Structure 1
Amino acid sequence: MKRSLVIFYAIIIYALAQLSWWGYMLFKLQPGRFGMIMGEGSIFLLVFFLGAYYMHKSLNKELKLHEQKKNFLLSVTHELKSPLASIKLLLQTIQKRDLTKAQVLDFIDKSLNDIERLDDMVENMLLASKIENHSYSFPKATFNLSNLVDNIVNRLQISKCDCNQQIINAEIEPKIEITGDKFALTSVVTNLIENAVKYSKPCQSLDVKLFKKEGKICLEVADHGIGIADAEKSRIFERFYRVGSEDTRNTKGTGLGLYIVKQVLDKHEATIKVRDNKPSGSVFEVVFG
C-alpha cells in the first residue's frame, strides 16, 4: 500500500510537470491565445486536483484498513493462544498430578470458562463476516430479554475477577419481552458487558441496567474504567477500530465487538449512544424504539 502511494505521488508530479511544459510551449507558439490557455488549463487543474484528492483519500483509507486488518490478525492469534494455553495447562495438571475432587472441579470450571471465551470470539468473527457479506438474515421472534441479560450477567460474573468478587451490579426489570434476533442480541449484550470489564481495572465494579421508560426498552452498561476520548467516540463502532491510547493498545480485543453491536442494533431500529461516566469510565445507552 505504501508503494502505491509513492507511485501515485510520482504520477501526480509527472502529470503537473507535463501540463506546465505543454502550457508553456502552447503559449510560446500562440501568445494571442493566452486567455483560452489559462481558462482551459484552470478547469483541467481543478478536475485533476479534485480527482487526485479523492484518490489520495481512498488510498489512505485502504492503507488504514490494511493496518487494522494486520493488527486484527495479530490480536486474534493472541486471543486464541491465550485461552488454549490455559486449557492445555489445566488439563495437563489434572492428568499429571494427584488432585482432590474439589481441585479437579475447579480446574474443569476454569477450562469451561476459557472455552466459552473462545466460543464468544468465534461467534463474533462469524457474525461479523456474515454481516459484512450481507448473508445474515436476522431472523426475529419474541423472547424474554430480561432472562437473556440475566443469564449473560451470571455467566460473566465470576470468571473475570481473580478474587471471585461480584463485580457486575445488575438491575434488571423482570418480564421485559422484545421481538428480535435472539442470537444477534445475545452478542450485543455480551460484547457490551465484556468491553466494560475489559477496560476496567481488576475487580472494579460495573453496572448493567435493563428497564422500560416511556414505552421504550432501555439497556445501560456503565463502567468506571479508562473512558473514551471525545475525538474517538464517533469511530469506536467502525470495523477493526480500537481506541488508540496506550492503555487500550495493551488490552485484548479484535476490534469487532462494537462494530457488531452497531450493525445488529441498526437492524433492530435501535439506537446506541456513549457518554462519559462520572468520575471516570463510559456509559453505553441502548434504546429499542
Structure 2
Amino acid sequence: MDVFTKKRLQVASITYWLLLAYIVVALVWWFIALQRQNHQMANYKISELKMDDPAFQSKYMEIVDEKRRHDFRNIGEGSIFLVVILIASIFVYQAVRRQIRLQHQQENFMMAITHELKTPIAIAKLNLETLLKYSLSEEKKQKMLQATLQETNRLNTLASNILVSSQLEGGRYRTAKEELDLSDLIKTAINDFKNRFPERLWQCDIEPEIDINGDPLLLQILVNNLIENAIKYSPKESLITCKLFQKNKTVQFQVIDEGPGIPEDEKKRIFEKFYRIGNETTRTAKGTGLGLYLCKKIVEDHNGHIRVADNLNRGSNFMVSFTVKHTHEQ
C-alpha cells in the first residue's frame, strides 16, 4: 500500500473514531442526565409526602419502585443503544476500509493492465517490423516469431482472465461441466509451457487417467494460471514441480516453485481480486492481480478447495483439491 493510500486511511480512521467517541460521550451524557432527572423526581415526590399520612409507607415504596424501574429502563435502553452503535460503527469502519483498499487495488489494476497490454503489443510490433525491414537468417526469424507468439499468448491469457472473471462474478458464465481426463489436460498444458519456456527445469508426476466432472475451459485456465504464476515468480534456473494424484475420493493437483515464497500474513489475501504483493510502482513481476482470484473462483465453482503452503526448501506450493464421486482404480 502506498504512502498516499495509508494517509487517506489514517485520516479516515482518525475522523471516524473521533465522531464515534463524540457519539458515545453524548450517549453517556444522555444517560447521566436521565438518571439525575429520575433521582430528582423521586426525591421531589418523597419530599411531598406527609409523615402522618397512614399510607406513607406504601406511597414511599411505590416511588422507590418507580425510580428503580426507570433506572433499569435507562440502563437497558442505554446499553442497547451503545451495543447497536458499536456494532454498526465496526461494520461501517470495516466497509469503508475495504472500499478504500478496493479502490487502491483497482487503481493498481489499471496501472498493471495498461503495462500488460502495451508491453506485448510493442514487442510483437517491433518483431514484425524487423522481419519486414531486414533479411534475417532462418534461426533469427524463428526466434523472433517464437517471441511474438509468446507475447500473443500472454495477450490471449490476459483477455481470457478478464473476460471469464467478469462473467463468473456477474453470473453470466454458463458452466459446461462434463467428464474429462484431468491428467491429459494437465499434461497438454505442461507440454505447451515446456515449448514456450525450453530453458526451465521441470519435474512432473502426473498420475494417468484421473477423470473429474468439470468445465474444460475453466480448468484449463486454472492449470495455466498456476503454472504461469510459478514461472513468473521463480528464478529461471529453479525447478518447477507439478503433481497430480488421487487418494480415495480426493483428487489433488500441486504446482510447486522455488521462488521467494509468500509471507504468512499474505497467504489468504493473494486470492482477493486485484490483490498483489508489494507496491505497484516498484514491483517487477508482471501481472494484474486476477490470476489467483480467478483460480479460487474456478475451484469453488467445482466444489473444490485451493490453498498455498511453503515449499519444503523455499518457494510456494499451491494445492488444489477436488472431491470425485468415484474412486480411481489403481
Regarding TM over 0.5, the answer is: yes
Residue in 1 aligned with 2:187? Answer: 150
Change (3 A) 1:9 1:145: same
Which of 221, 236, 240 in structure 1 is aligned with 2:270?
A: 236
Matches within 5 A, 1:115-126: 115-126=152-163
Matches within 5 A, 1:75-114: 75-114=112-151
CA distance in 1, matches of 2:162, 2:307: 23
Deviation at 1:172, TM superposition (A): 2.4
Residue in 2 aligned with 1:70? Answer: 107
Using the size of structure 2 for normalisation, the TM-score is: 0.77
Larger radius of gyration: 2
Q: Which letter maps to 1:93?
A: T
Give the 3-state SS of the residue equivalent to 1:269 in structure 2: coil
Q: Which letter maps to 1:283?
A: N
Give the 3-state SS of the residue equivalent to 1:250 in structure 2: coil
Change (3 A) 1:176 1:16: closer
Deviation at 1:60, TM superposition (A): 0.9
Q: Which letter maps to 2:196?
A: S
Give the 3-state SS of the residue equivalent to 1:157 in structure 2: helix
Confirm or deny that 1:135 pairs with 2:169. Answer: no
Change (3 A) 1:49 1:216: closer
Which region of structure 1 is more displaced relative to structure 2, 40-49 or 261-270?
40-49
Residue in 2 aligned with 1:52? Answer: 89
Which of 237, 252, 258 in structure 2 is aligned with 1:224?
A: 258
Deviation at 1:9, TM superposition (A): 5.0
Residue in 1 aligned with 2:58? Answer: none
CA distance in 2, matches of 1:288, 1:23: 57
Residue in 2 aligned with 1:264? Answer: 298
Matches within 5 A, 1:34-49: 35=71, 37=74, 39-49=76-86
CA distance in 1, matches of 2:103, 2:31: 39
Q: Deviations over 1:26-80 (max 9, x none)?
A: 5665553794555533432232222112111111111111111111111111111
Give the 3-state SS of the residue equivalent to 1:207 in structure 2: strand
Residue in 1 aligned with 2:52? Answer: none
Give the 3-state SS of the residue equivalent to 1:212 in structure 2: strand
Q: Which runs of 5+ in 1 are unaligned?
A: none
CA distance in 1, matches of 2:95, 2:244: 41
Deviation at 1:105, TM superposition (A): 2.5
Residues 158, 166 of structure 1: 8 Å contact kept: no
CA distance in 2, matches of 1:285, 1:29: 65
Root-mean-square deviation (Å): 2.7
Q: Which runs of 5+ in 2 are unaligned?
A: 1-7, 41-66, 324-330
CA distance in 2, matches of 1:203, 1:158: 16
Give the 3-state SS of the residue equivalent to 1:236 in structure 2: helix
Deviation at 1:108, TM superposition (A): 1.3
- The number of residues matched between the two structures is 285
Matches within 5 A, 1:146-185: 146-160=183-197, 164-185=198-219
Using the size of structure 1 for normalisation, the TM-score is: 0.86
Residue in 1 aligned with 2:20? Answer: 12
Deviation at 1:10, TM superposition (A): 6.2
Q: Deviations over 1:117-145 (max 9, x none)?
A: 11001101111111111111211112222
